[in-house]
């Protein structure tokens, strides 16, 4: 299900469309389309394992949209700008199973219906809600910490010991851990421009 998000301090015609998919079966095809520069696939396809929260996504999108409005894009289009420092770190890969899709309406032809139709035709996966609960479930906390160069908040990440009733061996993040990561990542994005 595709949602439209109007970000504060952005022109109303510059809408952000987001969709979340789980159990994606055709990630290699989607990556191939992006690498080929297929203009029909001008989306930000993000591996959802690298996202901690809705705020993380919206902060990256806001920064890219602001750079677009002020002609400060560093990459070839606004959608690759959302992913930020490296396509290989955040973008869709052959092994992606949980996929976040973002599309910025840079032309009047981009509307909710056209985005929803295109995605439903080309993404083989289960549509999911775009909310913090899904990111808490699919986030790869160890990989996120490594990419953002953050130390583990506890020694528990690999030991498997329970901390505050939560096992360190769990692959999904607790809501508290996610919020802590979110604060750290948003701080880094503000300070050094990492997305």
pLDDT for 86: 53
Domain limits at 58?
Answer: 3-132
Whether residue 74 is predicted with pLDDT greater than 90 in this model: the reply is no
* C-alpha–C-alpha distance, residues 139 and 125, integer Å: 18
Predicted TM-score of the model (pTM): 0.82
Domain count, the chain: 1
Decide if 187 is inside a domain: no
Decide if 165 is inside a domain: no
pLDDT for 170: 46
Whether residue 160 is predicted with pLDDT greater than 60 in this model: the reply is no
Share of the chain above pLDDT 90, in %: 61
Decide if 41 is inside a domain: yes
Share of the chain above pLDDT 70, in %: 82
pLDDT for 77: 73
As a whole number, mean pLDDT of residues 122-145 equals: 95
In the structure, what pLDDT confidence band is assigned to residue 94 with cuts at 50, 70 and 90? very high
Decide if 61 is inside a domain: yes
Handedness of CA 78, 73, 63, 149 (dihedral sign): positive
Averaged pLDDT of the chain: 85
Decide if 49 is inside a domain: yes
Q: What angle do CA 81, 8, 115 make, to 5 degrees?
A: 55
**CATH number assigned to the domain comprising residue 49:** 3.30.2380.10
Decide if 169 is inside a domain: no
Total length of the chain: 195
Decide if 68 is inside a domain: yes
* C-alpha–C-alpha distance, residues 188 and 195, integer Å: 8
Decide if 106 is inside a domain: yes
């Amino acid at each position: 299900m595709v949602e439209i998000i109007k970000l504060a301090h952005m022109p109303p015609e510059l809408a952000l469309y987001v969709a979340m998919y789980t159990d994606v079966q055709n990630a290699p095809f989607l990556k191939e389309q992006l690498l080929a520069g297929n203009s029909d696939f001008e989306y930000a396809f993000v591996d959802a394992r690298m996202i901690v929260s809705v705020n993380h996504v919206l902060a990256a999108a806001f920064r890219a949209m602001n750079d677009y409005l002020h002609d400060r894009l560093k990459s070839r289009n606004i959608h690759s700008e959302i992913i930020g420092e490296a396509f290989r770190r955040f973008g869709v890969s052959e092994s992606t199973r949980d996929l976040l899709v973002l599309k910025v309406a840079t032309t009047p032809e981009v509307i909710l219906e056209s985005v929803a139709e295109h995605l439903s035709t080309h993404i083989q996966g289960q549509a999911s809600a775009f909310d913090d609960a899904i990111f808490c479930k699919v986030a790869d906390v160890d990989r996120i910490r490594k990419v953002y160069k953050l130390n583990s908040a506890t020694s528990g990440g690999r030991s498997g010991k329970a901390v505050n009733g939560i096992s360190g061996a769990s692959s999904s993040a607790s809501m508290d851990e996610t919020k802590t990561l979110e604060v750290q990542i948003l701080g880094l994005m503000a300070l050094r421009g990492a997305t």
